[in-house]
Chain A
Amino acid sequence: MYVAVKGGERAIENAHRLLAHERRGDRNVPEVSLRQISEQLTLAVDRVMTEGSIYDRELAALAIKQARGDLIEAIFLLRAFRATLPRFGSTEPVDTGEMQIRRRISATFKDLPGGQVLGPTFDYTHRLLETWADEPDEPASGQAQSEPTPRVTDLLGVDDLIEPSPQSGPETPAGDLTREPLAFPAARDVRLQNLARGDEGFLLALGYSTQRGYGRTHPFAGEIRLGEVELEFFAEEADFALPLGRITVTECQMVNQFQGSGTTAPHFTRGYGLVFGHCERKAMSMALVDRALRAHELDEEIKAPAQDEEFVMSHSDNVQATGFVEHLKLPHYVDFQAELGLLRRLRAEFEPEQTDDAATQEAAE
């Protein structure tokens, strides 16, 4: 516990002024604009939107600038901003099957109906630092195909080779962590919401741990797709679903080790990831951890951290985590005085005993 302290107002105000000065950097260097951040640090903006849990590129760019590039601080700023706005309601669920695809790859089928497109990827780059003297070339153009691009899991689903997605009745609303506190055991919809806003680094490490044997699930990247989906909102006053606009999302379908029983034929199981913007590593990690967290449902032995929903869900949020870790910086003077008093008492009790022990030993010798 820490208690309120008084004083330090002048120091705090000056610290904020100094912070603003440091944020600006060398005043001879042009200030970075929100548009520049949004256009050129696209993936940082995407991460802040995903974990800040608000899709708004301009706000995320502003948060990144204000946070001096500290993405967790920027995520914190977005979460705080959220509290200032009312919620109109929920959108209709997005249909990723109707995505305007900018990237689509599968590690399981080379001849995917609709084709594989690499899109704007770091994959296959040499990871050599470059300096650019000129503007980049215009991108190449190809012949766009109009064939449909079904999800890989839909293709496997046709032959029952993979488990179907869970279906709930239309009257069952999805759980919402921003409205109800976390309770265990948590349903998969709530787990996915938690993972979608969870820290990328934390989920990456957990996903990695499952690959290294801590809750192994034998994953294949069935499909990763990036692109734009339409959002629609059912407005009661209009009595129909109104188009809101398009957002960019990344989806990952993990195909995992099979399951079967006396009554069901063996089939692949699944893990799912869906995030705002282009956050591929996050979508993949999310899908790995989603699958690992299904251990109980799939009758698997729970022995690894990634399978423990209480452990994962209670520690995935970087705003909560940073709040608790960083609160250690705040004055804990009273707590510490109490500890100090206790320690002094213990030492006082310990010292006479020591002297007695020493005397006994001397006498024995």
Chain B
Amino acid sequence: MPVSLSQQATESPRNMDVAERRAAMKLLVAAETKELAGLLAGIGPLPTHENVRRPETGLVMVRGRIGGDGSPFNVGEATASRAAVRLAGGEIGFGYVLGRDREKAHLVALCDALLQDKSRRSTIERAVLAPLRSRLEAERELAAARTAATRVDFFTLVRGED
């Protein structure tokens, strides 16, 4: 359901909690590009927006920690794409995703911007985040159940006395 652009300009746009945006991004970055595009298409025509950062692909250096919990070290790089968009109402959205799909980075940024627009938040939540969440949760649960089936209880045999 498209919302008129004049409506959002009157509302304070940037009041969304960082924790909520992070939680939404966790879902968005796990989506397939086609899936994300399809879900967004379901809410009507995309709102006008400009690219604050044109989608681009590069690398991020993945860091681990010595011993798992010590000082950081560099494990190796990963491909990543990023984009940033601004809606007519001024909301700026960011998209940083693993992989070389710039379109996906752009769509994530757009969703992040739309989520900050109060008048659109519930639509994005219902039409984009909710279906993603249920798919990802179901997959995660299935993987966890399959892993759980390989749970092993080793027992040691006591050596008999001579």
Q: Which of A88, A96, A100, A105 contacts B80 (CB 8 A)?
A: A88
User: Which of B58, B144, B146 is within 8 Å of A100, CB to CB?
Assistant: B144
Please state if A242 and B149 are interface contacts (CB–CB under 8 Å). no
Does A55 touch B at the CB level, under 8 Å?
A: yes
Q: Is B51 an interface residue (CB 8 A)?
A: no
- Please measure, in the bound complex, the distance between the C-alpha atom of A68 and the C-alpha atom of B61, giving whole angstroms: 28
Q: Mark B9-28, 1 if CB is under 8 A from A, else 0.
A: 00000000010011001100
Assess the A90–B63 pair: CB atoms within 8 A: yes
Q: Which B residues are in CB contact (< 8 Å) with A209?
A: none
In the bound complex, do residue A165 and residue B65 qualify as a contact, i.e. CB atoms below 8 Å apart?
A: yes
Q: Are B98 and A88 in contact (CB under 8 A)?
A: no
- In the complex, whether A4 has a CB less than 8 A from a CB of chain B is no
Of B40-48, B69-77, B121-129, the stretch lying at the interface with chain A is B69-77
Q: How many residues of chain A have a CB within 8 Å of chain B? A: 83
A56 touches B99 (CB 8 A): yes
A101 in the interface (beta carbon within 8 A): yes
Residue of A nearest to B99 (CB): A56
A242 and B96 within 8 A (CB): yes
User: Which of A25-33, A111-119, A307-315, A349-357 forms contacts with chain B?
Assistant: A111-119
- Known contacts A85-B58, A231-B78; decide if A140 and B66 are in contact (CB<8 Å): no
Scan B125-162; emit 1 where CB is below 8 A from any A CB, else 0. 00000000000000011111111111111111000000
In the complex, what's the smallest C-beta–C-beta distance from B73 to chain A, in angstroms? Answer: 4
Q: Name the one of B18, B59, B146 contacting A85, with C-beta atoms under 8 angstroms.
A: B59
Q: Closest CB-CB distance, B63 to chain A, in whole Å? A: 4
Q: Which listed residue, B18, B62, B144, touches A247 by the CB 8 Å rule? A: B62
Interface core residue of B57, B77, B141 (most chain A CB under 10 Å): B77
Contact B22–A242 (Cβ < 8 Å): yes
Contact A93-B149, Cβ < 8 Å, known A243-B25, A244-B96, A245-B30: no
Tell me whether B29 is interfacial, beta carbon within 8 Å.
Answer: yes
**Residue in contact with B149 in the complex, picked from A85, A140, A272, A276, CB distance below 8 Å:** A140
Instruction: Please provide the chain B residues from 82 to 125 with a CB less than 8 Å away from any CB of chain A in the complex.
Output: 82, 84, 94, 96-100
Number of B residues with CB within 8 Å of any CB on chain A: 58
Q: Is A181 an interface position by the 8 A CB rule? A: no
| Contact partner, A144, options B63, B66, B84, B147, Cβ 8 Å | B147
Chain A: minimal CB distance from B44 (Å): 27
Q: Is the interface of A mostly helix, strand, loop or mixed?
A: mixed
Q: Are B141 and A91 in contact (CB under 8 A)?
A: no
CA distance A166 to B69 in the complex (A): 9
Give the residues in chain B near A190, CB-CB below 8 Å: 73
| Segment from A16-24, A232-240, A335-343 that makes contact with B | A232-240
Q: Is the CB of A93 within 8 A of B148?
A: no
Interface assignment of A334: CB less than 8 Å from any CB of chain B:
no
- Provide the A74-114 mask, 1 if CB < 8 A to any CB of B, else 0: 00000000100111111111111100111101000010000
Q: Which residue of B lies closest to A146 (CB)?
A: B144
Question: Which residues in A have their C-beta under 8 angstroms from that of B94?
Answer: 235, 237-238, 242
> Is A141 on the interface with B (CB-CB < 8 A)?
yes
* Chain A residues, CB < 8 A from B96: 88, 233, 235, 242, 244
Scoring A residues 301 to 333 as 1 if CB is less than 8 Å from chain B, else 0, what string do you get? 000000000000000000000000000000000
The listed residue with most B CB atoms (<10 A of its CB), out of A89, A141, A144, is A144
Instruction: Check if A285 is an interface residue, CB within 8 A of chain B.
Output: no
Of A96, A102, A140, A141, which is within 8 A of B64 by CB? A96
Given contacts A54-B77, A82-B77, A243-B26, contact A101 B147 (CB under 8 A): yes
Q: Indicate whether A264 reaches chain B with its CB closer than 8 angstroms.
A: no
Q: Which of A37-45, A127-135, A192-200, A210-218 contacts B (4 or more CB under 8 A)?
A: A192-200
> Would you call A241 an interface residue if the criterion is a C-beta within 8 Å of the partner chain's C-beta atoms?
yes
Please give the distance in Å from A36's CB to the nearest CB on chain B: 18
Asked if A245 meets B97 with Cβ closer than 8 Å, knowing A141-B149, A172-B71, A274-B75, the reply is yes
Contacts from B to A (Cβ < 8 Å): 18, 21-22, 25-26, 29-30, 53, 56-80, 82, 84, 94, 96-100, 140-156
Which 8 A-B pairs rank lowest in CB-CB distance, beginning with the nearest?
Answer: A165-B70, A165-B67, A142-B148, A142-B149, A55-B78, A168-B71, A189-B73, A245-B98
15 contacts between A and B (CB under 8 A): A53-B76, A53-B77, A54-B76, A89-B60, A90-B63, A94-B62, A110-B153, A118-B152, A174-B73, A178-B77, A188-B66, A188-B73, A189-B73, A196-B74, A233-B96
